[in-house]
Structure formats: structure tokens, C-alpha cells
């Protein structure tokens, strides 16, 4: 069972934190804080985590998807104040950029708002020291049971989705992701992992967004117009992510339109962030990577650092100020100054958490805001809401779910009514169970169970030959097929149906074996359970003409039959020998010789069989049998001629089933026809009585009947011709 305890982001956007309990292991995904609360609710309620001693013992590892505060904000609190000391994993960019994010937040809270700090600078750094950085697709093993791997998620630099495997249970946790590439990031990429459970964000559970291009154009035009009218544009952003994308956009636009109005970044912090972006260029999209040798996209030409003295300076400008959502700090300060003037503009990019000024601006129609308890503020400036969030829309969520094809879905990180709608859609369109747990709730879903067994080499290799053919085919397909990066590349078509003998010994070790091997392991030998039938038949006309018509091999074998023929080769050999041993053969021949000869013929036949696969089967068959005939010499006795005739007839009639002749016996699968002659009292030269002794095992009942009826037909035919 996979138990999912949602500590945060259940029915809300903020403080993402999901705890998974699988097979005695506990893994925490994300450790975020809520930007809208300033009380206890800002952090996830860690006390709900099932206890096994302290937090370090209770949790095996923490995996952080990206550096946004609602995904990482509570980490220093959890490690430094709650005392978690176990492993923490995040991607390289997240590890590099998270301290900037946390420090920015801390400063805003303490310096500007005058709140008591939740954690200190030192604690942020101590916390980050415990982090192990991972690369995309890198498979990390933690102990023998836990394995996980990061996939590119778009959203922000270094954002990742994680595929987690504990024992045989698999879970995909998406974090935040974006299915469409933006100015600096690529789209999310993940394999068709078919996990037991997927936990996905659903920020835009019902929104279908139009083309991003149009939104970009509107934004640029709005800013342009405002600036030409001498207005000031305030863009409240978080230091990382959206800021860089909009900067690329504006810098590029400024360059093209030859605009002179200054673009400011509110603090050295964001400029510093650009240094990181330059180092981490490998995590951006292909276009940025390609141009980085000639010009690094993050070397902005028109962007400079903002100085507080410029706050009241006249003239137009564009200012990126932290934090986003106007939740405090410089951005709110500037907002208060600029908002009362009509020519100014506030661009609110992306999502705003309820409880922030930004949220009220975007949703509320009120122009009066009590941004502070004492001051009433009249908002007269233009407000441009830019749906520029790097979250995927409803279509993207559905596409991802369809592609990953999980067996259960849990939605988090969204608004309750929209999530409910999406849930209905998932259940109806994808037909998988979908859960929308709230904070503190636990969801249990079943996981795949797999037993570890020991399969014998022989058992497996029998299917290996087939798998190779498949691999050759898949190789050809691969070359011709266009690249489908979201498609399932690995073909799971390599399979084979086999019946296996499963043996569990006293030590509870389970072996999967071939029947022959099973007998050996059990130290018993096969009991041959056979049926016999004696047919006294009169067959005349020793001349081959009757039966050896030229169209002997006209019956073209079909694909499937060929394989079934091959499949039956081995048992036929085994049974045949058994039959020969027990049907009175040993009285005439030395058994050991027989065996050796058998083996020889067997090897020879195998070789020929291989050839057969390559060349036209019919013609080849004839050639081989002809060779056989030569080797065996021209029949010198009547009996042998008879065997030869019957044999040819049978080959013709049975077609797909491989049969061969040995001395006075004809063998097809487990059916052995022994021919002996017996002169009747009234017999003439060319009318002799033969006794056909057919022996077969139960599995070849049908074949035996077929053969017997063929033999009867021969008798009738020969009588007719006589």
C-alpha cells in the first residue's frame, strides 16, 4: 500500500508538503510555506507525521522539487528548528538558488515588516549544507529500497518532477511544472512510467490558456504605452524565475524598439541571481543554450540595479521589485508610492495567493486598499494582470496524466472547486481513481506486488531468441520513426508465453524452471504416459508416384505455424526417445548407440532448422530431405521402401509439423509410428500386410488421430489404385 499524507497544498496553493509512506519508508516531498498566512498556518503541521522517534528517524529523506518558497520555505525551519538531520535532495539549480530565495524572504519579513524571524541567515546556510544536489535523470539509490530520479519540469530553473520507487511501488510527484516552453526554459519531459500513483499540481485545474505569444505582445504593448506616457511600471516579482523571463522579454523588446527608459532590478539580489543563471545555462531551453557561446542571454543590456534614491525620481521607468504578489517589502513600498497616479502601471505576473495585496488587486474591483492598518490607499494606476504563470493549464495536466498513465491520481496545489471539476474529468476521461485530499488527510492506494524469484537460464533463454528478433525489428522501427520525445521509447513487446514449473523449497526460495529442469531439481525422472494403437494395414503400390507428387511442399507454412512447430521440437525429441526406449526398440538395437545417433541427428536437424528460417522453407525442406535420403542410401528392402513411402506421404499431409524418419520409425512430435511387415498367408508379392504401431502421449492426441486417419486413407487409396 502507498499511504499519502498531505501536510500542505491540499485544497490550496501554498506550503506544498506531501509525506509518502510505502513499505516502512517515509519520504517527504517539498517542505514549503504559505505566503498568505503569518501565523502557525504558514508551515505544514509536521506533528501529523507518524512518529518513529524524532523527525530524523521518522523520515527517510526529503525531496524538494524547486526553489519557490511554497515548496522550500519551511525547510530551514524543519531542519534547524525541528531538528531533522536526514538526507535532503534537490537539483543543482535549486540548491544554488534556494538560499537566495530564503534569504530574500527572511529579510523582507524581518527588515520591512518587523516580524520575528523564523530562521536566521546562518540557519539557512546550515540547512543548505545538508542538501545533496542531483542531476536530471540521475538515478539515486538510498539504501537498498529507495530509488528516485528527477525529470525536467520547466516551471522555473531547476524545477523537477520526481519518480520514486520504494520496493516495487512507484510514485511520480510532479511538483510544479509547465508543459509549454517559455523564453528561457523548456517544457516538462517525462517518460511513460506507469506508476502506481501520480501526485500532480492543479493550479490551473480548469483554465485553458490561449497562445502565450499574444499575452506577451499585450504585456509589451501595455508597458510600452505606459512608458511613452511618462508612467512608471512596477512589476512585483520574486527574485528568481518570472523575473528572468520578463527581463529577457523586455530587454529584447527594448533592443528592438530602441527604447531608452531605464529598466531597474530592485536589488543586487536579482542581479546576483543572473550570475547563477549564467552558470546553470544547461538547465535552460535549447535556444538559450545554443546562443550562450556568442552572447549569454542573461547578460542584460538595458537592465541596471535600482537605487532607493530613484524612488521619487521623475520620468518613466520599469522596476522589477521583490517580493512578488505585493506581500510586503520593497514592492509594496513602491506600490504605495506609485499606485495613486493614473499614468503608472502595476503588472501582476502570475498567480497571487489569497491574502496578499496582489490577490486583491487581481480579483477585487475595489480601488481602495487598506494596505496598512493606518493608511488607506486609493489605487488609481492601471493594473495589468499577466497570466504568465509557469504552471501548466488544464490541458497540460491532462496530457501529462495521459502520458504517464498512472494507476491512481492525487491532486494537490490548487483551489478546491476547480480541483473537484478536474477530478471528475480525470475519472471520466482517464478512468483512473482520483483523490483530492485536504491538509492533514491521508489517502491509501494499492501498489503492485512483485515476488523475487530465481529463473533458470534455460527457462529464460528459450524466449531470448524471440526477443532478439523483436529487438532487430524495433531497431528498424527506431531508425525510421521520427523522434517522439514524449512517447514511450522502450518497447515492451519482448515477451513470450511459456508454461513454467515453480518450485519453492524449504528456504522459501522460489525457482522458475523448465519441466526438464524441474525433474532434475526434484530428483525424479519423467514417467512416460503413452497410448498405443496397432493398425494392421494393407498398402500396395510400392511405386512412389502415388504419393510423391511434385506439389508435395506446396502447402506454404504460415508464420504462426512455424513457431508452433519449433516450439514442439524439444518435447518431441524427449518423447520420441522415451517411446523408442519403451516400445521394444532396445531389443533390436544397442541403446547407447541409439542415443548417440539420436543426438547426432538432433544436432544436424537443428542446424538445418536454422537454415530453414532464412531461406524459402519449402524448397529447402525438400533439399534437406533429399540429402537425408541419400545419406541413408536407396531403400533395399521392401519394408524400407514402405517406410519411405509412408514417410513422404505423411510429410506432405502434415505439412507444418516437423516429422522425421528413423529406421523403421516415423516420428512427429511425440507420435511414433513403427512399421513392421507381416506376410499374410494369402499375400502376394505386391500386396503385403504391415503393422503400424502408433505410440503417443496425451498431449498429441489430436495429431495421433490425424496420423491414424491419414494411414487409413493411404490404405484406401492404395486399394483403390490396385
Partner 1 sequence: MAMELTCLGLGKDQGKWAGPSCHLLQIGGANILLECPLDTTMLHLFLPASDMLVQKRDTLYEARCSKGSDADKKTTKKRPLRRFLDEEDDLDSWFHMEGKCISRSSDASGPLSPEKASQIPLETNLPLHFLRIMDGHVFLDVEPWYKTADFSLVDISSLDVILISSPESMLGLPLLTRSGNFTGKIYATSVTAKLGQLIMEELVCMHAEYIQNFGSSSPEFKPSWLNPPAFQDYPASFKKALVDDDGVGRANWHLLYRKKDIQACMDQIRCVHYDEEISIYDCLCIKASSSGFELGASNWVISGARCLSYFSASDLTSGHSMALNVASHIKSEVFLFSDLKSNNTDGYDEDLTSCSVKGICENKDKDYPVETKSLSGRCCGGVVHDLLEVSKVVLETILFRGSVLVLVNGIGELMETLEVISQALDNSNLSDVPLFFVSPVAEEILVYTNTIPEWLSAERQEKLYAGEALFRHVELLQQGRLHQLSALCSQETVKVWREPCVVFALNWGLRMGPAIPLMLKWRQDPRCLLVMPETGMTRLALAPFQPVQMKVLHYCRRKLGEMEVSAIIEKMKPELFLVPETMKGEFPSLGDSDSRASRNDIVFYNMWDILTIPAPRYTEADMMAEVACTVHPRQLDSGHSVGKVKVRIQQRGGKWLLDLPKLSQESDDALTEKETICWGTVEVTKLMDILQGNGLCCELHSEGHRNNSEHRIVVTTPSPATVELGLQYTIIETNDLVLRKLITDAVRSLLTFI
- Total chain residues near partner 1 (CB under 8 A): 93
Cell output for 546: 502415388
Which residue of 39, 208, 293, 610 would you call a contact of partner 1, by CB under 8 A?
A: 293
In DSSP notation, 170-220 reads EEEE--S--SS--SS-----------SEEEEE-TTSS-----HHHHHHHHH
Stretch that binds partner 1, among 134-142, 255-263, 429-437, 619-627 (CB under 8 A): 134-142
Which span (82-90, 343-351, 496-504, 604-612) binds partner 1, by CB under 8 A?
496-504
Closest to partner 1 by CB, 56 or 528:
528
Asked if 525 is part of the footprint of partner 1 (rule: CB under 8 A), the reply reads yes
Residue 674 engages partner 1 in binding (rule: CB under 8 A)? no
Contact flag: residue 552 with partner 1 (CB under 8 A): no
Which of 38, 113, 192, 278 is the binder for partner 1 (CB under 8 A)? 278
Q: Judged by CB under 8 A, does residue 502 bind partner 1?
A: yes
249-256: long-range contacts at Cβ-Cβ below 8 A with a sequence spacing of 24 or more?
249/183, 249/216, 249/219, 249/220, 250/220, 250/223, 250/302, 250/303, 250/318, 251/300, 251/301, 251/302, 251/303, 253/220, 253/224, 254/301, 254/302, 255/301, 255/302
Q: Taking a C-beta distance cutoff of 8 angstroms, is the pair 668, 657 a contact?
A: yes
Residue corresponding to grid cell 495421433 = 704
| 287 belongs to the binding site for partner 1 (CB under 8 A) | no
561 is an interface residue for partner 1 by CB under 8 A? no
- Residues 175, 3: Cα–Cα separation, whole Å: 18
Least gap, CB of 292 to partner 1 (angstroms): 7
291 near partner 1, judged by CB under 8 A: no
Stretch that binds partner 1, among 396-404, 494-502, 616-624, 671-679 (CB under 8 A): 494-502
Stretch that binds partner 1, among 64-72, 386-394, 575-583, 641-649 (CB under 8 A): 575-583
The answer to whether 201 is a known catalytic residue is yes
The verdict on 610 binding partner 1 (CB under 8 A) reads: no
User: Cα–Cα distance between 288 and 244 in angstroms, integer?
Assistant: 12
* Segment interacting with partner 1, rule: CB under 8 A, options 227-235, 408-416, 467-475, 599-607: 467-475
From the CB of 132, what's the least distance to partner 1, in Å?
11
Q: How far is the CB of 671 from partner 1 (least distance, A)?
A: 13
Cis, peptide link before residue 390, omega less than 30° from 0: no
**Residue 518 CA to chain centroid, in angstroms?**
35
Residue 105 CA: distances (Å) to CA of 110, 180, 276: 9, 28, 18
Q: Does 99 bind partner 1 (CB under 8 A)?
A: yes
**Would you count residue 138 as binding partner 1 (CB under 8 A)?**
yes
Give me the least distance between CB of 159 and partner 1, in Å please. 15
Q: Toward partner 1, which CB reaches closer, 163 or 648?
A: 163
Q: Which stretch binds partner 1 (CB under 8 A): 176-184, 410-418, 499-507, 628-636?
A: 499-507
The least distance separating partner 1 from the CB of residue 574, rounded to whole angstroms, comes to: 10
Shortest Å, Cβ 518 to partner 1: 6
The yes or no reply on residue 567 touching partner 1 (CB under 8 A) is: yes
- Rank residues 336 and 705 by Cβ distance to partner 1 and give the closer one: 705
375 forms part of the interface with partner 1 (CB under 8 A): no
Q: Give the nearest distance from C-beta 527 to partner 1 in angstroms.
A: 5
- Nearest distance from C-beta of residue 279 to partner 1, angstroms: 6
Q: In the 3-class helix/strand/coil scheme, how is 552-572 assigned residue by residue?
A: HHCCCCCHHHHHHHHHCHHHH
Going by C-alpha positions, the residue among 357, 358, 352, 354 that lies closest to residue 371 is 357
Bridging pattern class, strands 368-369 and 88-91 = unpaired
Catalytic residue among 80, 201, 216, 245: 201
Q: What is the spatial distance between Cα 297 and Cα 247, in angstroms, rounded to a whole number?
A: 10
- The residue (of 195 and 541) whose beta carbon lies closer to partner 1 is 195
500: contact with partner 1 by CB under 8 A: yes
Report CA-CA distances (Å) from 627 to 447, 631, 633, 638.
59, 6, 10, 21
614 binds partner 1 (CB under 8 A): no
Q: Is 122 in the site for partner 1 (CB under 8 A)?
A: no
Is position 501 an interface residue for partner 1 (rule: CB under 8 A)? yes
By the rule CB under 8 A, 213 interacts with partner 1: no
Taking the complex as a whole, the smallest distance from the CB of residue 695 to partner 1 amounts, in Å, to: 7
Nearest to 646, CA basis, from 577, 570, 711: 711
Q: Please select the residue that binds partner 1; options are 48, 81, 121, 279, rule is CB under 8 A.
A: 279
Is 285 near partner 1 (CB under 8 A)? no
Interaction between residue 463 and partner 1 (CB under 8 A)? yes
Number of CB atoms found within 10 A of residue 159's CB? 29
Which residues, numbered 400-459, are part of the site for partner 1 (CB under 8 A)? 448-457
Which residues, 6+ apart, have CB-to-CB distance to 124 below 8 Å? 76, 99, 102, 103, 106
Among 608, 699, 706, 719, binds partner 1 (CB under 8 A): 699
CB of 502 to partner 1, least distance (A): 5
Pick from 486, 490, 489, 395: nearest CA to 187: 486
Contact 36, 60 (CB under 8 A): no
Q: From residue 355, how far is each of 109, 330, 362, 364, 452 by CA, in Å?
A: 15, 18, 12, 12, 52
Q: In sequence order, what are the residues at sequence separation of 6 or more whose Cβ sits closer than 8 angstroms to the Cβ of residue 585?
A: 594, 674
Give the whole-angstrom CA distance, residue 95 versus residue 595. 70
- Residue closer to partner 1 by CB (options 256, 527) is 527
Does residue 305 touch partner 1 according to CB under 8 A?
no
| Active site residue ranges | 201
Amino acid at each position: 500500500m502507498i499511504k499519502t499524507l498531505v501536510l500542505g497544498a491540499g485544497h490550496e496553493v501554498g506550503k506544498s508538503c506531501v509525506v509518502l509512506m510505502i513499505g516502512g519508508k517515509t519520504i517527504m516531498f517539498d517542505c514549503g510555506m504559505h505566503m498568505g498566512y503569518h501565523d502557525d498556518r504558514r508551515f505544514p503541521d509536521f506533528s501529523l507525521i507518524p512518529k518513529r522517534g524524532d523527525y530524523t528517524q521518522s523520515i527517510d529523506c526529503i525531496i524538494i522539487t524547486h526553489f519557490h518558497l511554497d515548496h522550500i520555505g519551511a525547510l530551514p525551519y524543519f531542519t534547524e528548528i525541528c531538528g531533522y538531520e536526514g538526507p535532503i535532495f534537490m537539483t543543482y539549480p535549486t540548491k544554488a538558488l534556494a538560499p537566495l530565495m530564503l534569504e530574500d524572504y527572511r529579510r523582507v519579513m524581518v527588515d520591512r515588516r518587523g516580524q520575528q524571524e523564523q530562521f536566521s541567515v546562518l540557519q539557512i546556510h546550515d540547512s543548505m549544507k545538508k542538501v545533496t544536489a542531483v542531476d536530471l535523470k540521475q538515478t539515486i539509490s538510498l539504501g537498498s529500497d529507495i530509488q528516485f530520479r528527477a525529470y525536467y519540469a520547466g516551471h522555473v530553473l531547476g524545477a523537477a518532477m520526481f519518480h520514486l520507487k520504494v520496493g516495487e511501488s512507484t510514485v511520480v510527484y510532479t511538483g510544479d511544472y509547465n508543459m509549454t516552453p517559455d523564453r528561457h526554459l523548456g517544457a516538462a519531459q517525462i517518460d511513460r512510467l506507469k506508476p502506481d500513483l501520480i501526485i500532480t499540481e492543479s493550479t490551473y485545474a480548469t483554465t485553458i490558456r490561449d497562445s502565450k505569444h499574444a499575452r506577451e505582445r499585450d504585456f509589451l504593448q501595455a508597458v510600452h504605452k505606459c512608458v511613452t506616457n511618462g508612467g512608471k511600471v512596477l512589476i512585483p516579482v520574486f527574485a528568481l524565475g518570472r523575473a528572468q523571463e520578463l527581463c529577457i522579454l523586455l530587454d529584447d523588446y527594448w533592443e528592438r524598439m530602441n527604447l531608452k527608459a531605464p529598466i531597474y532590478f530592485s536589488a543586487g539580489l536579482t542581479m546576483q541571481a543572473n550570475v547563477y543563471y549564467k552558470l546553470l545555462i544547461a538547465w535552460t531551453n535549447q535556444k538559450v543554450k545554443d546562443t550562450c557561446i556568442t552572447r549569454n542571454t542573461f547578460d542584460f543590456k538595458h537592465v541596471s540595479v535600482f537605487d532607493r534614491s530613484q524612488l521619487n525620481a521623475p520620468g518613466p521607468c520599469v522596476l522589477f521589485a521583490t517580493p512578488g504578489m505585493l506581500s510586503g517589502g520593497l514592492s509594496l513600498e513602491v506600490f504605495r508610492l506609485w499606485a495613486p497616479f493614473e499614468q503608472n502601471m502595476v503588472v501582476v505576473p502570475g498567480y497571487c495567493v489569497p491574502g496578499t495585496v496582489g490577490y486583491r488587486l487581481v480579483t477585487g474591483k475595489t480601488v481602495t486598499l487598506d494596505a496598512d492598518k493606518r493608511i488607506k490607499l486609493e489605487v488609481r494606476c492601471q493594473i495589468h494582470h499577466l497570466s504568465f504563470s509557469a504552471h501548466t493549464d488544464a490541458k497540460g495536466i491532462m496530457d501529462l496524466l495521459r502520458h504517464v498513465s498512472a494507476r491512481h491520481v492525487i491532486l494537490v496545489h490548487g483551489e478546491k472547486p476547480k480541483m473537484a471539476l478536474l477530478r471528475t474529468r480525470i475519472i471520466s476521461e482517464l478512468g483512473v481513481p482520483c483523490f483530492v485530499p485536504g491538509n492533514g488527510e491521508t489517502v491509501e492506494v494499492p501498489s503492485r506486488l512483485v515476488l523475487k524469484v530465481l529463473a533458470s537460464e534455460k527457462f529464460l533463454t528459450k524466449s531470448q531468441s524471440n526477443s532478439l528478433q523483436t529487438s532487430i525489428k524495433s531497431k528498424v522501427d527506431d531508425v525510421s520513426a521520427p523522434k517522439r520525445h514524449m512517447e514511450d521509447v522502450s518497447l515492451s513487446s519482448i515477451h513470450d508465453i511459456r508454461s513454467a514449473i515453480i518450485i519453492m523449497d524449504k528456504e522459501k526460495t522460489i525457482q522458475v524452471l523448465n519441466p526438464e529442469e524441474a525433474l532434475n531439481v526434484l530428483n525424479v525422472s519423467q514417467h512416460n504416459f503413452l497410448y498405443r494403437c496397432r493398425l494392421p494395414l494393407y498398402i500396395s503400390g510400392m511405386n512412389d508416384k502415388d504419393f510423391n507428387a511434385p506439389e508435395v511442399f506446396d502447402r506454404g507454412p504460415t508464420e504462426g505455424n512455424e513457431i508452433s512447430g519449433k516450439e514442439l521440437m524439444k518435447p518431441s525429441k524427449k518423447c520420441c526417445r522415451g517411446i523408442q526406449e519403451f516400445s521394444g526398440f532396445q531389443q533390436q538395437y544397442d541403446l547407447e548407440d541409439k542415443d548417440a545417433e539420436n543426438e547426432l541427428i538432433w544436432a544436424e536437424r537443428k542446424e538445418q532448422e536454422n537454415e530453414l528460417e532464412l531461406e524459402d522453407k519449402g524448397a529447402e525442406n525438400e533439399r534437406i530431405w533429399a540429402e537425408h535420403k541419400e545419406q541413408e542410401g536407396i531403400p533395399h528392402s521392401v519394408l524400407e521402401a514402405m517406410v519411405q513411402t509412408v514417410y513422404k506421404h505423411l510429410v506432405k499431409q502434415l505439412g507444418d509439423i516437423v516429422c522425421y524418419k528413423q529406421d523403421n520409425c516415423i516420428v512427429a512430435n511425440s507420435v511414433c509410428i513403427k512399421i513392421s511387415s507381416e506376410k499374410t498367408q494369402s499375400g502376394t508379392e505386391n500386396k503385403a500386410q504391415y503393422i503400424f504401431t502408433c505410440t503417443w502421449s496425451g498431449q498429441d492426441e489430436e495429431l495421433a488421430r490425424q496420423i491414424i486417419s491419414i494411414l487409413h486413407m493411404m490404405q484406401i487409396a492404395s486399394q483403390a489404385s490396385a
